[in-house]
Amino acid sequence: MTDIDLSTIETERDRIRSAYLKPGGTSTARGLHHTALLCSDVERTVRFYQEVLGFPLTEMVGNRDYAGSTHFFFDIGNGNLLAFFDFPGLDLGPYAEVLGGLHHLAISVEPERWEELKASLAEHGVEFQEESGTSVYFRDPDGARIELIADPLGEMYGLKVL
C-alpha cells in the first residue's frame, strides 16, 4: 500500500468542493431507473433479495444482448429498481472490487424495517457488520457489498447529501 499524505488529500478535497459543490442544484436526470448487477444463479438471487430482504421480484425477461441470459428486476422502493443479469456459459470469475466497479450499493429503509432486516439477515445466516447505528453491510450471494441504511433518502449520518 502506498503512503498517503492526508493533509494534501484534504486540501485537494477542499479545492474540488469549492469549485464544484452545488447543493440544491437541479439535475438533468429524473432519477435512477435501475442498477444492474451480475449473478451466477438466478433462483438463488431471487430467493435472497425477495425472501431475505423483502424486495419483490417485478419482472423477468430474456436479455436482449446475450442469448440465454436472464434480466430480472426487484422493487427497492420510491420507483427504483435493482436489476440482475446472469451470463450462462461465460464462466465469469468471483466478485472483485476493481476501479470502475461496484464498491457497495446503499439502499434506504425505514428504521423499524432496518431492525427487521437485520433480524432476517441473522436468521438466514448472512454475516453483517453494523456501523454508526444506521448502516448494516453484508454481501449478497455473489459477493456484492450491500448496505441497508436507516437514514432518509438525501441524508447520511446527519449530513444533507441532497
* Sole residue written with cell 434506504: 108
Contact criterion met (CB below 8 Å) for 58 and 75: yes
Q: pLDDT digit string (tens) for 49-69?
A: 999 999 999 999 999 889 999
Classify domain 32-88+101-160 at the CATH class level.
Answer: alpha beta
Instruction: Kindly report the pTM of this predicted structure.
Output: 0.87
Distance, CA of 92 to CA of 40 (rounded, Å): 8
Please report, for the chain, the start and end positions of each structural domain, with discontinuous segments joined by +.
Answer: 32-88+101-160
Q: Where are the alpha helices (DSSP H) in the chain?
A: 6-20, 42-46, 111-123
Q: Is residue 145 exposed (0-12), middle (13-18) or buried (19+ Cβ within 10 Å)?
A: middle
Distance, CA of 138 to CA of 119 (rounded, Å): 13
Q: Is residue 24's pLDDT more than 90?
A: no
Average pLDDT over the chain, rounded to an integer? 93
Contact criterion met (CB below 8 Å) for 66 and 86: no
Average pLDDT over residues 13-17: 95
